[in-house]
């Protein structure tokens, strides 16, 4: 009598698990490097928690800081932060593939699946082209930005310092991180009226936040009629949000046109500011939270629920109200995309509301509700703007913000699917549920 041997099931890590572990590994390594005395200025005492917070914020390209980066970190420390921002913006999956290509290694199905998961691709076709486009476009735009900003900073700093500021600021802007080396949490307030600095930084933010697919599509086709539906949605949303934000800040906050435009561009996910955010009205802060929550576009260096998600949500609601199919640019949006958009909205809302609730409980009303909510939305959308409460947060609150930043960077869908149990093969009878 022979026993039948059942084949063993493979229990390898799924792509979303690898992404999570990869980001966590980079954050931990970064925190250890920033904890070294070599990374800090003399007579500076930096706790490991703050080093971990800065590392998390850099890898998650957020920009929220608990210490003054310029006064706390040495040249080595600032270099580490810049590298963490680059790694966070490029993404763990792209890093793995890029190193594999450089070493001449074979790019198998597993690595291609990792790219597909990281950039929300519909198929594995063209994954290597995506990585190459990301690397080439990222290098080209950041090199150009550094050159332009070098001459801007040169009017104030010595050549070596001007180059350092230009390189760091460009990396931070293109990767939508919002870190700066100005000191005293000033961000770019000293350059509020400088046309070159405002336009260059805004340009880098918009490019980085639009997504590499859109940049490649525009570069390849160069005509509106030939662009993909995805590119048309992103470009349309960018224009609407930039124009709407500029108009609102000019009217509500009485800002000049240049400051209004810059704040509209940076609020979506970058985190720079040329004006004091803490002085904004509650209506202004609420509006800015809306921009932050929407965020950047898929396949970009930015966070938020994404412009395409927002567009799909409104398209779905308009189809319900006007009794027509959800279509735009002569293309119909599928039910699967609509369902995923609502799932992203629901998960993101839970994350922001839950995080805000925890912060209010922990801080025992030390801060106003609007300030706490603003901080949480900024962390989730990996923006980095703050009303000024970040350095005053307690240890537990810093932990909550770090978790929110991490979840916002890797994406709520990635987090949710990584926690799911084994799929059930049971079939149930369908029954209608009364909704609304």
Q: Among 62-76, 126-140, 220-234, 389-403, which is the least confidently predicted range?
A: 126-140
Q: Is the pLDDT of residue 120 over 60?
A: no
Q: Is the pLDDT of residue 117 over 60?
A: no
Residue 113's pLDDT band (cuts 50, 70, 90): low
pLDDT of residue 10: 46
Give the pLDDT confidence of 166-179 residue by residue, as tens digits.
999 999 999 899 89
Which is more confidently placed, 225 or 249?
A: 249
Which is more confidently placed, 16 or 267?
A: 267
pLDDT of residue 4: 47
Q: Among 66-75, 127-136, 285-294, 356-365, which is the least confidently predicted range?
A: 127-136
Predicted TM-score of the model (pTM):
0.86
pLDDT of residue 107: 55
Q: Compute the distance between CA of residue 178 and CA of residue 195 in angstroms, rounded to an integer.
A: 19
Q: Is the pLDDT of residue 1 over 50?
A: no
Most confident of 1-5, 118-122, 290-294: 290-294
Residue 116: alpha-carbon gap to chain centroid: 18
Mean pLDDT of all residues in 103-118: 53
Which is more confidently placed, 380 or 436?
A: 380
CA 38 to each of CA 52, 81, 283, 311, 433: distance values in angstroms, whole numbers, following the listed order: 16, 13, 44, 47, 62
pLDDT of residue 79: 96
pLDDT of residue 91: 64
Give the pLDDT confidence of 381-401 residue by residue, as tens digits.
999 899 889 999 999 999 999
Q: Is the pLDDT of residue 123 over 70?
A: no
pLDDT of residue 217: 80
Instruction: For the beta carbon of residue 262, count every other beta carbon within 10 angstroms.
Output: 29
pLDDT of residue 433: 79
The SS3 call for residue 418 is: helix
The SS3 call for residue 1 is: coil
Residues of the chain by 3-state class (helix, strand, coil), percent to 5: 65, 0, 35
Q: Among 117-131, 209-223, 295-309, 364-378, which is the least confidently predicted range?
A: 117-131
Q: Compute the distance between CA of residue 358 and CA of residue 379 in angstroms, rounded to an integer.
A: 14
Which is more confidently placed, 120 or 170?
A: 170
Q: Compute the distance between CA of residue 335 and CA of residue 327 in angstroms, rounded to an integer.
A: 11
Mean pLDDT of all residues in 196-211: 92
Angle at 93 between CA 92 and CA 97, to 5 degrees: 115
pLDDT of residue 320: 87
pLDDT of residue 5: 47
Which is more confidently placed, 382 or 220?
A: 382
- Per-position b or e across 322-340, b if 16+ CB within 10 A of its CB: eeeebebeeeebeeebbee
Q: Among 7-21, 85-99, 222-236, 312-326, which is the least confidently predicted range?
A: 7-21
Share of the chain above pLDDT 90, in %: 55
Closest CA to 98 of 123, 118, 122: 118
Within the chain, what is the greatest distance between any pair of CA atoms? 89
Q: Among 80-84, 129-133, 235-239, which is the least confidently predicted range?
A: 129-133
């Amino acid at each position: 009598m022979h026993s039948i041997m059942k084949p063993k099931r493979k229990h390898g890590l799924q792509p979303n698990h690898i992404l999570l572990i990869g980001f966590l590994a980079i954050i931990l390594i970064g925190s250890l490097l920033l904890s070294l005395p070599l990374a800090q200025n003399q007579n500076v005492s930096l706790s490991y928690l703050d080093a971990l917070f800065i590392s998390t914020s850099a890898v998650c390209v957020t920009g929220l800081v608990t210490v003054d980066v310029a006064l706390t970190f040495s040249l080595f420390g600032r270099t580490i932060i810049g590298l963490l921002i680059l790694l966070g913006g490029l993404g763990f999956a792209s890093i793995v593939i890029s190193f594999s290509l450089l070493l001449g290694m074979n790019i198998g199905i597993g690595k291609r699946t990792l790219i597909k998961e990281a950039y929300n691709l519909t198929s594995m076709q063209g994954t290597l082209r995506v990585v190459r486009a990301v690397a080439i476009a990222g290098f080209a735009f950041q090199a150009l930005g550094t050159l332009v900003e070098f001459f801007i900073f040169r009017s104030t700093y010595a050549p070596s310092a001007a180059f350092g500021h230009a390189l760091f600021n460009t990396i931070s802007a293109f990767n939508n991180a919002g870190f700066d080396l100005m000191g005293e949490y000033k961000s770019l307030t000293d350059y509020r009226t400088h046309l070159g600095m405002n336009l260059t930084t805004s340009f880098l933010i918009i490019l980085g936040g639009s997504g590499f697919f859109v940049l490649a599509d525009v570069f390849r086709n160069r005509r509106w009629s030939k662009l993909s539906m995805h590119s048309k949605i992103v470009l349309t949303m960018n224009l609407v949000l930039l124009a709407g934000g500029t108009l609102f800040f000019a009217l509500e906050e009485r800002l000049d046109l240049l400051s209004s435009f810059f704040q509209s561009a940076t609020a979506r996910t970058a985190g720079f500011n040329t004006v004091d955010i803490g002085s904004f009205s509650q209506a202004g802060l609420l509006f800015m939270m809306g921009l932050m929550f929407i965020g950047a576009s898929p396949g970009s260096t930015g966070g938020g629920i994404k412009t395409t998600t927002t567009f799909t949500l409104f398209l779905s609601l308009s189809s319900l109200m006007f009794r027509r199919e959800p279509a735009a640019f002569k293309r119909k949006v599928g039910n699967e995309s609509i369902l995923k958009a609502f799932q992203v909205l629901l998960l993101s809302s839970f994350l922001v509301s839950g995080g805000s609730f925890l912060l209010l409980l922990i801080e025992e009303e030390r801060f106003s509700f609007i300030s706490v909510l603003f901080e949480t939305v900024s962390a989730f959308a990996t923006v980095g703007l703050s009303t000024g409460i970040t350095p005053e947060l307690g240890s537990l609150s810093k932990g909550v913000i770090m978790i929110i930043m991490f979840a916002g960077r890797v994406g709520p869908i990635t987090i949710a699917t990584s926690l799911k149990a084994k799929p059930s093969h049971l079939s149930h009878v369908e029954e209608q549920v009364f909704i609304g």
